Amino acid sequence: MPDDQIALRLRGLTKRFGAMTAVDRLDLDVPRGSFFGLVGPNGAGKTTTLSMATGLLRPDAGSAHVLGTDVWADPVAAKARIGVLPDGLRLFDRLTGLQLVTYAGLLRGMERDLVAQRVGELLAALGLTDAQDKLVIDYSAGMTKKITLACALVHAPRLLVLDEPFEAVDPVSARTIRGILEDFAANGGTVVLSSHVMDLVERICSHVAIIAGGQVRVVGTVDEVRGGMTLDDRFLDLVGGTTDVEGLAWLRTSSD
Ligand SMILES: Nc1ncnc2c1ncn2[C@@H]1O[C@H](COP(=O)(O)OP(=O)(O)OP(=O)(O)O)[C@@H](O)[C@H]1O
């Protein structure tokens, strides 16, 4: 695929933690305008990959390019184009929701008036206007997810990287978030998200990569990867479901 069609290009990305290789020479091309799902078992290396791709964790080897800009050689230019919803990153949660998103916009060098306008619109779109003066530390998990998403969107990035964006989010808010993301992708933005929920990925993503053992095992459009099966079956087929419930006989109520 030509370079100008690629929103995120990862080449030979590698990260070791001690003796353990979490991400192992991983290659991935995310086409522009795609809604790209990253799935994989626990510990597969998804979060580590996304952290390296977005300038949050320095790779031991390999490269990440966002719309042609090298994330690690030119982080300021690359990060201006990326919005990130990290998993479990500490927030400045002693700020109110309004203050937190405003701060995110000002940090990006935006004009105060523009920030105020966009923050108002984002909070309204995400149903957070009533909670805007509450401290983020007092938000529920789903509200926290939504306010973090607002922080990721405020500077109008071209690439959105979202770690588990629908986790802890209620169905109404999930639909709102999905609408915002679909609109974003339909207008030339690119969304990369990680999720464990296969039918969600199957429904909303155009492309998917299955990651296991720190490498991409299969990648393509959702239909290509599914190959006539459900994504869930394809995933289990590829990654292997090794559940040994036999060993848990003591959990069976019948053994009373
Ligand atoms: N800071 C760290 N120090 C040591 N090991 C780490 C660190 N971060 C991740 N790992 C290890 O790297 C591997 C990949 O972790 P990662 O969080 O990238 O997986 P994941 O695919 O996002 O998993 P999950 O689906 O459970 O969120 C795991 O074995 C994990 O224990």
Measured from the Cα of 50, ligand 1's closest atom is: 18
* CA dist., res. 22 & res. 24, Å (int): 6
- The domain spans of the chain are 3-81+157-255
Given this model, what pLDDT does residue 253 score?
A: 73
Best probe residue, ligand 1, of 17, 28, 52, 87 (max atoms within 8 Å of C-beta): 17
- How crowded is residue 196: how many other Cβ atoms within 10 Å of its Cβ? 15
Query: Which protein residue's CA is at the shortest distance from atom 4 of ligand 1?
Result: 17
Give the contacts of 117 (CB within 8 A, at least 6 positions apart): none
Measured from the Cα of 48, ligand 1's closest atom is: 18
Measured from the Cα of 23, ligand 1's closest atom is: 14
Q: Which residues line ligand 1 (CB under 6 A)?
A: 17, 22, 40, 42-48
CA 46 to centroid of ligand 1, rounded, Å: 8
Q: What is the DSSP letter of 158?
A: S
Given this model, what pLDDT does residue 107 score?
A: 92
pLDDT digits (tens, 9 = 90+) for 230-245: 999 999 998 876 666 6
pLDDT band at 193 (very low <50, low <70, confident <90, very high): very high
Measured from the Cα of 41, ligand 1's closest atom is: 25
Given this model, what pLDDT does residue 245 score?
A: 61
CATH class of 3-81+157-255: alpha beta
CA 116 to centroid of ligand 1, rounded, Å: 37
More confident residue, 248 or 198: 198
Give the contacts of 138 (CB within 8 A, at least 6 positions apart): none
pLDDT band at 20 (very low <50, low <70, confident <90, very high): very high
Query: Which protein residue's CA is at the shortest distance from atom 17 of ligand 1?
Result: 47
Given this model, what pLDDT does residue 4 score?
A: 81
Measured from the Cα of 15, ligand 1's closest atom is: 12
Given this model, what pLDDT does residue 174 score?
A: 87
CA 187 to centroid of ligand 1, rounded, Å: 33
Contact 180, 125 (CB under 8 A): yes
Write down the pTM of the prediction: 0.89
More confident residue, 100 or 167: 100
CA 48 to centroid of ligand 1, rounded, Å: 6
Of 177, 156, 151, 155, the residue nearest 166 (C-alpha): 177
CA 14 to centroid of ligand 1, rounded, Å: 13
* CA dist., res. 203 & res. 206, Å (int): 8
Best probe residue, ligand 1, of 47, 167, 216 (max atoms within 8 Å of C-beta): 47
pLDDT digits (tens, 9 = 90+) for 131-171: 999 999 999 888 998 999 999 999 999 999 998 888 888 88
Given this model, what pLDDT does residue 161 score?
A: 96
- How crowded is residue 7: how many other Cβ atoms within 10 Å of its Cβ? 26
Given this model, what pLDDT does residue 233 score?
A: 92
Of 222, 168, 163, 171, the residue nearest 193 (C-alpha): 163
pLDDT digits (tens, 9 = 90+) for 42-87: 999 999 999 999 999 999 999 999 999 999 999 999 999 999 988 7
Given this model, what pLDDT does residue 255 score?
A: 53
Contact 161, 64 (CB under 8 A): no
Contact 146, 169 (CB under 8 A): yes
Per-residue pLDDT for 246 more than 90?
Answer: no
Of 42, 62, 66, 46, the residue nearest 54 (C-alpha): 66
Contact 127, 140 (CB under 8 A): no
Secondary structure of the chain: what % helix, strand, coil (to 5)?
40, 25, 30
Beta bridge partner(s), residue 21: 16
